[in-house]
Amino acid sequence: MKKLIVFYSIILLSWINQLSCQVEHIPIYHPVYRFLLHCETKGLLPNFSLSSLPLQKKEIVDALKKIRSDSSLNSSSDIAILDAFEMEFNIKKRENAVLFYSKSDSIQLIPEKLFTNDEKFIYHYIDETSECSLVPLVSWDNIFNIISNNLDNVGLGNLGIRLNGTIDNKLGYFLKITNGQILYGNRNLAFKDNRLRYNVKFSELNSDFDFSESHIRLDLDWFYAFTGRENRLLGAGINQYVFLSDNAPPFDAIGLGVQSKTFEYRFTFGSLIALNESCVPNGKDAIIPPKYISMHRFAFKPSWGELALWENVIYSNRNPDLAYLIPLSFLKNIEHTLHDRDNTMLGFDITVRPLSGIQLKGSFLLDDVVFSEIGKGFWHNKFAWNIAMILSLPLSFDIAFEYSRVEPFTFSHFNNQNSMTNDSLIFGGYLKPNSDQFAMNLFWFYGARYPLELKLTYTRHGDNIKDKNGNVIKNVGGDPLLSKRSEDAYYYTFLDGDRTDILDFQINAGLQIVRGIDLMLKIDLSKSSKSDLETGFRITISIGNPNDY
């Protein structure tokens, strides 16, 4: 009997160790984050927040285990979704099918396992301390657009691989490489995909498009360090992430931090793409000066939510400054001692769960302020903020309301190279200065991997007024790349200028045909005050879940 107990204890400890080798990040597009938001709202995840993404794989595993252990989990739809994610994240025993054998996996992928619900890999290996996965990525996108009864479309094909895993329970790694091209249709319509707008190879060189994301993370108990290029989200909200969003290309960064159950501090130093100072858009003759960002974030995570303090500084046209590489400091004071050349910002975000089924989220970014002029429309008072509420309803429905606002001239700087932009695109939130947005989201978690989402937004923006040659004749603070000029007024009216109102309705749905093969549908109806109704459809069929990862 004692030998039997020892045997089962060894098996259990081995399985626990296998689950611990999950140090790598799970990219921000994975549908598990929507499910975690749903469970967070229901009060199933104390000392937890989704205000800083991506999370580590082991953090997601711990969250899924907490959800499973909660006795109030009684929705059949939620349980079905949880079952699927427990299989995907290897919490429950699963079957793997591989193209190339390893010591841990020898079930042949082709032909009998290709259309099953087994996990599918080119190569997969796992033991007590390490894991390695290599997955093919294939997708076909068809984008349709209808304006004034005229139908247009474009087809995109994409191929790639994803390599990820952990070494010795300490070092996590991730690499995704994809390459795609236009298969047919109107090339201009492809720019409906925001990523293709900033892909130089596609937009400037009129060629195919490629993307790469990667990171390495070292975990040593309470301390961690990382480096990589990946999409990141920072800020509490539903649709808006005031401090960091994926509106601009991902930037290269290094960082380190300390964390416990209720506290985390992170220092991040990144390299941004500055504005081109030559007439040549790219190539050897393009002149693009260096540009950097340094960020600090203190986050406190009590059982009822999270409170975080954040600061950053953006500077350019010089080598990395040692003062901004000090992990623990106050950037605003340091910026003053360096002769006030750079662009600093402060902010906080908060998540509050006052009752089970109710969650409040909000963020506030302070760019500049003159306290005596608050409320008077003074140009130097530059803020960005959002506030959101999400409610958990019966039958696995969630409904969310959010209001976001960015004051004129926010994100800009007297030195436009120091604006809060990467490759000329705002990376803090999705709204331009002198804008606001009302949003409502409805999610139905009906038991599938992807929830059904309905999203309605009303966005208002006041742009700078320009002449026929594109020269600004009235600056109302609507462009992050243009600060106040000497000839501009000191006081403004919110939403003044060249006004545009946009009402947008989206439907997002997904179906996992079998594990690893997905069908995604997006319907978008948009009506601008300056244009006719525009209807867009996007159908995606993918292998390897490239849109999740």
Tens digits of residue pLDDT in 36-93 = 999 999 999 999 999 999 999 999 999 999 999 998 998 999 999 999 999 999 999 8
40 phi/psi in degrees, rounded to 5? -60, -45
- Asked whether residue 1 carries a pLDDT value surpassing 70, the answer given is no
- Asked whether residue 11 carries a pLDDT value surpassing 50, the answer given is no
Of 89, 70, 188, 161, the residue nearest 131 (C-alpha): 89
Structure tokens at 27: 């990219």
3-state secondary structure of 61: helix
**Residue 408 and residue 371: Cα distance in Å, rounded?**
16
Give me the pLDDT at residue 7, please: 40
Tens digits of residue pLDDT in 348-394 = 999 999 999 999 999 999 999 998 899 899 999 999 999 999 999 99
Share of the chain above pLDDT 90, in %: 84
Q: What average pLDDT does the segment 236-246 reach?
A: 96
Give me the pLDDT at residue 370, please: 92
- Angle (deg, nearest 10), helices 57-69 and 76-88: 150
- Asked whether residue 18 carries a pLDDT value surpassing 50, the answer given is no
Q: What average pLDDT does the segment 122-149 reach?
A: 93
| pTM for this predicted structure | 0.93
When pLDDT is cut at 50, 70 and 90, the band that residue 21 belongs to is: low
Give me the pLDDT at residue 192, please: 87
Which residues contact residue 486 at a Cβ distance below 8 angstroms, ignoring those fewer than 6 apart?
none
When pLDDT is cut at 50, 70 and 90, the band that residue 546 belongs to is: confident
Give me the pLDDT at residue 16, please: 40
Lowest model confidence (mean pLDDT) among 15-24, 171-180, 269-278:
15-24
Tens digits of residue pLDDT in 156-168 = 999 999 999 999 9
3-state secondary structure of 373: helix
- DSSP labels for 121-182? ESEEEE-SS-EEEEEEEEEEEEEEEEETTEEEEEEEEEEEEEEEEEETTTEEEEEEEEEEEE
Give me the pLDDT at residue 140, please: 95
**Residue 202 and residue 197: Cα distance in Å, rounded?**
8
Give me the pLDDT at residue 459, please: 98
Give me the pLDDT at residue 549, please: 67
Residue 377 corresponds to which amino acid?
G
Lowest model confidence (mean pLDDT) among 61-70, 86-95, 111-120, 205-214:
111-120
Q: What average pLDDT does the segment 310-330 reach?
A: 96
Q: What average pLDDT does the segment 393-409 reach?
A: 97
Q: What average pLDDT does the segment 329-342 reach?
A: 95
At residue 243's C-alpha, the angle toward residues 238 and 248, to 5°, is 90
When pLDDT is cut at 50, 70 and 90, the band that residue 421 belongs to is: very high
Neighbour-count burial of 401, counting CB atoms closer than 10 A to its CB (0-12 exposed, 13-18 middle, 19+ buried): middle
Report the first-to-last Cα separation within the chain, whole angstroms: 46
- Asked whether residue 13 carries a pLDDT value surpassing 60, the answer given is no
3-state secondary structure of 41: helix
Q: What average pLDDT does the segment 432-452 reach?
A: 97
* Residue 307: other Cβ atoms inside 10 A: 18
Average pLDDT, the chain: 92
* Residue 164: other Cβ atoms inside 10 A: 23
Residue 185 corresponds to which amino acid?
G
